[in-house]
Amino acid sequence: MKVHEFMTTKIEFIDASKTVYDAVERMVDRRIRSVVVRFPGKEGDYGVLTTRDIVFKVLAKGTNPKKVKVSEIASKPVACIDKDMDFDDAATAMERSNIARLFVCDEGKIIGLISLLDVMAAELVTRARGNHVS
């Protein structure tokens, strides 16, 4: 199964100049676990900020999230895959890089993301389809 069939397109973007508090607010509000950080200047210059980054790098250290910029703790660059990649290959890429989500990119633009849960769901569907390849 190709990743574009099952990817999540609900992606939130946040400007690098915003604070971690802004990001937390948005993530809690939208019930999402990561936001894509947009850096000024070059088109397609992205980073990613996850709940893990926020908890480990800010909250657990007792730092005030209103005083930390998103750009200071975001991970860069983001891991991107092609929309026509198979889920099997995506799973291998996630395992190799030890990451829980991969962004799906088209001509340098992020168009979706796949998480470990999406990989599991895709695996179940592939098993259910058996020899009926889509």
Partner 1 sequence: MFLEKIFSHGKKERQVTEDIERHIQLLCTACEIFKNSLERNDRNLIWEVIELERDADAVRRDVISHIYEGAFLPYIRPDLCKFVEIVDEVFDVLKDTAQYCLDYELPELLREESTRVALLNFRMCEMLLISFEAMLKGADLREKILGIRIYEKKIDDIKLILFKDAERVPVADFWAGKILSDLLTGLTGISDIIEDASDHLQIINVGTR
Please report, as ranges, the residues that interact with partner 1 according to CB under 8 A. Answer: 5-6, 8-10, 121, 124-125, 127-130, 132, 134
Q: Could you tell me whether strands 46-50 and 34-38 are parallel, antiparallel, or unpaired per DSSP bridges?
A: antiparallel
- Smaller CB distance to partner 1: residue 5 or 25? 5
CB of 126 to partner 1, least distance (A): 9
Cα radius of gyration (the chain): 16
d(CA 120, CA 124): 6
Eight-class DSSP state of 83:
T
CB of 120 to partner 1, least distance (A): 9
CB of 51 to partner 1, least distance (A): 19
- Smaller CB distance to partner 1: residue 42 or 127? 127
CB of 85 to partner 1, least distance (A): 17
CB of 119 to partner 1, least distance (A): 12
3-state secondary structure 107-130: CCEEEEEEEHHHHHHHHHHHHHHC
- Smaller CB distance to partner 1: residue 7 or 78? 7
d(CA 85, CA 108): 15
- Smaller CB distance to partner 1: residue 98 or 134? 134
- Smaller CB distance to partner 1: residue 32 or 59? 32
Q: How far, in Å, are 27, 28, 35, 103 from residue 31 at the CA level? A: 6, 5, 11, 18
